[in-house]
Structure 1
Amino acid sequence: MKVTAYRTSLRRFTVPLRITVIGTGYLGATHAACMAELGFEVLGVDIDERKIEMLAAGELPFHEPGLPELLKKHTQSGRLRFTTSFEEAGAWGDVHFIGVGTPQKPGGYGADIRYVDAAATSLAENITKDALIVGKSTVPVGTARRLATLVQERHTGPGRISFAWNPEFLREGFAVKDTLTPDRLVIGLAEGDLDAEVILREVYASQLAAETPMIVTDYETAELVKVAANAFLATKISFINAFSEVTESVGGDIRTLADAIGHDARIGRRFLNAGVGFGGGCLPKDIRALQARVSELGLDRTMRFLTEVDEINLRRRDRVVSLAEEVLGRLNGATVGILGVAFKPDSDDVRDSPALDVAARLFNSGADVNVYDPQGNANAAKRFPRLNYVDSYVAAATGAQVVMLLTEWKEFKELHPEDLDGLVQNKVIIDGRNVLNVREWEDAGWTVAALGRKFDPARDMVGLNAGV
């Protein structure tokens, strides 16, 4: 790119650029704090007054490693502020990132994009100078082009607005790292919009200096990159879980199988961990929204395989519950200790969590369920308050007839048999994430049942009534 074009493009904007982030949930709060860390003045915008008050006070309403420190650092320095005023944001900002949620529609598979529409409309109606609006939310393909038109129609004030799409690729538990040092940047632009590209190269200058790949493309491809990535990951997880059904039946070992095929460079070992399945606020809703969108496009057969991906994932939850019933003989009246209800470690997110779903099903089958998660108890209690939430794995395991490891937190992965000996009624553990050293536990007299390994209660129940 020519330096003259770069300077000409920035001349219309405040230098350094002022950034606003619309929506201060998981994505928005992370992006706002990280933009401040990169040296920008940042204004977070949300209609939720309570959330804005918390963030302005340096308090984070969810768990994400490393983010509380950035939030406090930059709210105290004044580089990061928060407001409920779109009027203030429109008059102040140069680059406006939209990071609001796109949940699954109630009663359907499609994505609910009304919050994205509302954010874009409010910005267009309140921007009073040259500005760039950048979408980051995960949306159905075709949304960006429609919003670009909507913005131009609703903007009647001074200045001119460009529109871009810049999908996020955050992993919960690693969101700060993924924002500050991403593995790639994807920018969707209107054809010939050099100004928008130049502005975003300025925003991401430090990442580009670190040789982060930047893919500049059209709106539609940028939108599809995110859902394609999530669909692929979901498929890979369900693939190994489908094979775990086979190894359970014939007596193979799914972990060894995964290790073996993972050595193939074309496949790789990551996301080949058989277990209770995927959940959270992204993968399940994104693959369902993709199916809904391709159906609208008349391409139902194209993504039909994702229906089976989803079904395989949900069957894993059924299997864990049935495995508990095989171990216990019956669920009604049994005492179960649950280790983990967040959908993944280093997160307090329990949205569509397979672990919480399993715990709830056990309770509904008559079991007494004691639950411990290092971060997820409070959110789980809001969704399913009837479980008994406790404050340690010791409390969860005490008196249990079976212990179930359902979220692979580090403190659970590092457990040894002696940590639970003397607490439980039965030395029986169900490893729903395939993270324990099975031989160590079995040598200590425990029965270990795990997804992807054949389990025969008559043969394998060596730990029954071997506890207190």
Structure 2
Amino acid sequence: MRMVVLGLGYLGATHAACMAELGHEVLGIEVVPEKRAHLAAGEVPFYEPGLPELLKRHIDSGQLAVSGSYAEAADFADIFFIAVGTPQKKGEYSADLQYVDAAIEELVPLLARDSLIVGKSTVPVGTAQRLAELANELAKDIEVEIAWNPEFLREGFAVSDTLHPDRIVLGTFPSGRAEKITREIYASVIGQDIPFIVTDPPTAELVKSSANAFLATKISFINSIAEVCEAAGADVTAIADAIGYDARIGRKFLNAGVGFGGGCLPKDIRAFMARAGELGAAEALSFLREVDNVNMRRRTRMVELTRKICGGSLLGAKIAVLGAAFKPESDDVRDSPALNVAGQIQLQGASVSVYDPKAIPNSRRLFPTLDYAPTVAEACSQADVVLVLTEWKEFLEIDPTDLSHVVRRRNIVDGRNCLDAAEWIRAGWEFRR
């Protein structure tokens, strides 16, 4: 099939490359010239394992093309995916939908054939209905159908999550063609016995919001338990292991630590709260405010713990921060707990050296005043405290004895509950979580 993907950021570039991998002929639309030039050359302007090879292969084969022209898009196909960003509004909790609206406003007046527009972006409930009304106003003697097919990508696993998802959700209005066409698009994926869930658009929009809210709640839950454990002298990791055996709970997302970040969970739970308030259901999601508070409190706690290790003051201390990305296998530093902690510690008078395998360029743009090191050893040179704040495999494989010869004082804080405590303690380190 021929299709267009509007917006080639993290979501759009992945979706476009994966649709080409499924055998479709794809045109990707990107309005930012620099990003468009990179993608047209088969280069991914961010880090995502497996995507560069996939993109380059389909750019070279001609299966995937990149353009900045909405007129070309309207002429190319009658199936369109919206994959533009929905950031948090400045000074507000709600989502900024200007890019979603602009995609409809730019595209629909140019359409000359009946078309299907499928949303992938994460949006507040009710957006598909509003866009359907907008498209109907802008369409010129044609039918433009709106449907919603939310993404459930994990950074670091985006290609696999697109080609081998755990479910496909489609929100469609009655009597439309969206279900038939979407089943054809994902035919080879559905053939893997992947559940294909068809519902109305508001439900599809809420599936994505609900999934993110649940994951954020689970992370903040175990971090709240960690606070109680600290007060009671208990082991939160043992608790997580024990309750994780319960099939109703599961072990995933139960590692206590510095909390969640990135471009999705923080903004999406805030937008979910804001939309619930607009619908008159604010009390239903009031617990998410505490989820957000717990998450931010974990960062403050990490700073306080580091200051305590340094004798009550960070002035003149040397702190090594291992990790800048909000999660491993990503260079995404949006709302990164690691960088937030590093910045707070520096503001309190410490010298902070940061190392991350992939996220240093993005970190420099966001926090230019921090020091950045090219290796673990250089970041930890003469450090008073080492903080592990992103659970990269490289950090899990550090030899504590080797690192002992680099630092000034053997203090390490495992901010992600990912290290072997016994191994570090045997090597003479003061180990804290």
1:346 aligns with 2:329: yes
1:249 aligns with 2:227: no
* 1:301-332 residue CA offsets vs partner (Å, 9 max, x unmatched): 11000000000000000110000011111101
**Alignment match of 1:427 (pick from 405, 410, 426):** 410
Residue identity matched to 2:138: R
Give the drift of 1:130.
2.5
Per the alignment, residue 132 of structure 1 pairs with 116
Structure 1 residue runs without a partner (length 5+): 1-16, 451-468
Per the alignment, residue 143 of structure 1 pairs with 127
Per the alignment, residue 417 of structure 1 pairs with 400
2-side partners of 1:342 and 1:56: how far apart? 26
Residue identity matched to 2:165: P
1-side partners of 2:363 and 2:107: how far apart? 35
2-side partners of 1:236 and 1:355: how far apart? 20
Per the alignment, residue 224 of structure 1 pairs with 206
1-side partners of 2:201 and 2:30: how far apart? 25
Residue identity matched to 2:99: Y
Residue identity matched to 2:234: G
Residue identity matched to 2:84: V
2-side partners of 1:30 and 1:304: how far apart? 34
* 1:231-284 residue CA offsets vs partner (Å, 9 max, x unmatched): 000000000000000111111111100000000000000000100000000000
Q: Using structure 1 for the length normalisation, give the TM-score.
A: 0.91
Per the alignment, residue 204 of structure 1 pairs with 186
1:356 aligns with 2:339: yes
Per the alignment, residue 366 of structure 1 pairs with 349
Give the drift of 1:346.
0.3
Identity of aligned residues (%): 58
SS of aligned partner of 1:96: strand
* 1:151-196 residue CA offsets vs partner (Å, 9 max, x unmatched): 1110116x43222100000000000000000000000011122x21
Per the alignment, residue 17 of structure 2 pairs with 33
2-side partners of 1:205 and 1:249: how far apart? 53
Per the alignment, residue 217 of structure 2 pairs with 235
Give the drift of 1:418.
1.8
**Alignment match of 1:164 (pick from 126, 147, 154):** 147
**Alignment match of 2:272 (pick from 286, 290, 310):** 290
The size of the alignment, in residue pairs, is 432
Give the drift of 1:120.
1.4
Per the alignment, residue 190 of structure 1 pairs with 173
2-side partners of 1:108 and 1:419: how far apart? 47
1-side partners of 2:330 and 2:85: how far apart? 18
1:119 aligns with 2:103: yes
Residue identity matched to 1:174: F
Residue identity matched to 1:389: Y
1:86 aligns with 2:82: no
* 1:276-303 residue CA offsets vs partner (Å, 9 max, x unmatched): 0000000000000010001111111110
* 1:393-446 residue CA offsets vs partner (Å, 9 max, x unmatched): 111111111111000000001212123121000011011011111111111110
1:321 aligns with 2:303: yes
* 1:323-378 residue CA offsets vs partner (Å, 9 max, x unmatched): 00111111011001110010000000000000000000011111100100001111
Instruction: After superposing the two structures, state which structure 1 stretch, 277-286 or 439-448, moved more.
Output: 439-448
2-side partners of 1:218 and 1:73: how far apart? 36
Per the alignment, residue 376 of structure 2 pairs with 393
2-side partners of 1:319 and 1:217: how far apart? 42
2-side partners of 1:306 and 1:391: how far apart? 38
Per the alignment, residue 65 of structure 1 pairs with 49
1-side partners of 2:224 and 2:108: how far apart? 47
Q: Decide which structure has the larger Cα Rg and report it.
A: 1
* 1:68-99 residue CA offsets vs partner (Å, 9 max, x unmatched): 00011011001110001000000111210000
SS of aligned partner of 1:151: helix
Residue identity matched to 1:384: F
- The residue correspondences of 1:304-315 to structure 2 (distance < 5 A) are 304-315=286-297
Residue identity matched to 1:68: P
**Alignment match of 1:272 (pick from 254, 257, 261):** 254
1-side partners of 2:113 and 2:319: how far apart? 60
Residue identity matched to 2:3: I
* 1:428-467 residue CA offsets vs partner (Å, 9 max, x unmatched): 10110111111111111100111xxxxxxxxxxxxxxxxx
1-side partners of 2:231 and 2:397: how far apart? 29
Per the alignment, residue 389 of structure 2 pairs with 406
Q: Using structure 2 for the length normalisation, give the TM-score.
A: 0.99
SS of aligned partner of 1:215: strand
1:152 aligns with 2:136: yes
2-side partners of 1:192 and 1:258: how far apart? 47
* 1:2-42 residue CA offsets vs partner (Å, 9 max, x unmatched): xxxxxxxxxxxxxxx20110000000000000001111110
Residue identity matched to 1:299: A
Residue identity matched to 2:249: I
2-side partners of 1:127 and 1:171: how far apart? 33
Residue identity matched to 2:368: P
1:46 aligns with 2:25: no
Give the drift of 1:129.
1.6
Residue identity matched to 1:98: I
Give the drift of 1:136.
0.6
Residue identity matched to 2:357: P
1-side partners of 2:292 and 2:373: how far apart? 31
SS of aligned partner of 1:298: coil
2-side partners of 1:421 and 1:392: how far apart? 15
SS of aligned partner of 1:192: coil
1-side partners of 2:36 and 2:282: how far apart? 42
